[in-house]
Homo-oligomer: A and B are copies of this chain.
Amino acid sequence: MNAPSEPFSTRIKVCFSDIDNAGIVYYPRFLHYFHLAMEEFFINELQIDFADVLHTRNVSLPTVHIEADFRQKLKYGDRIDMEVRILELGRSSIRWGYKGYRQVGGEGLVVEGNNVTVCVRTDSFEKIDVPDWLRAGLDAYTARLETARSPS
């Protein structure tokens, strides 16, 4: 879907129930959008269903840190394109980066954030190293983006 130089991106529609009593997206829902984007990243970029990650490969990715900036309000009916990047790949942790852009109107960045997940076994919650298959997939993704950006 995405050109070689472009990060993985997925379109998210603000649904009716995401709106809070101030008339805008309830801010914890943005973190839900981050998670949805990560789920889509797994299936579309790595070709692995996140449900299989959890239940077949026995790997969970609990979040230990989150930070985010909300630059524009979103309303019901808005759509954003949420980009996913790998900011850091540690021994057992991954820092994921997210940038959400309003689809219509081109007014730029709506939300930007990152979270750190650690790898644990789903069944025991024992901390583990980033599995090889995941490290390889994330490295390949990062390499694709960097190669595309490099001058020829």
Contacts and interface: CB of A to CB of B under 8 A. Distances in A.
Given A39-B16, A50-B16, A27 B77 contact: no
B21 A66 contact: no
Oligomer: number of copies: 4
What is the interface of chain A mostly: helix, strand, loop, or mixed?
A: mixed
Interface stretch (A56-64, A80-88, A90-98, A135-143): A56-64
A16 B35 contact: yes
Interface of A: 15-17, 19-24, 26-29, 31-32, 35-36, 39, 49-52, 54-55, 60-71, 73, 75-77, 113, 115, 122, 125
Task: Give me the 8 closest cross-chain CB pairs, A-B, nearest first.
Answer: A51-B77, A28-B31, A67-B67, A19-B21, A22-B60, A27-B63, A28-B28, A21-B76
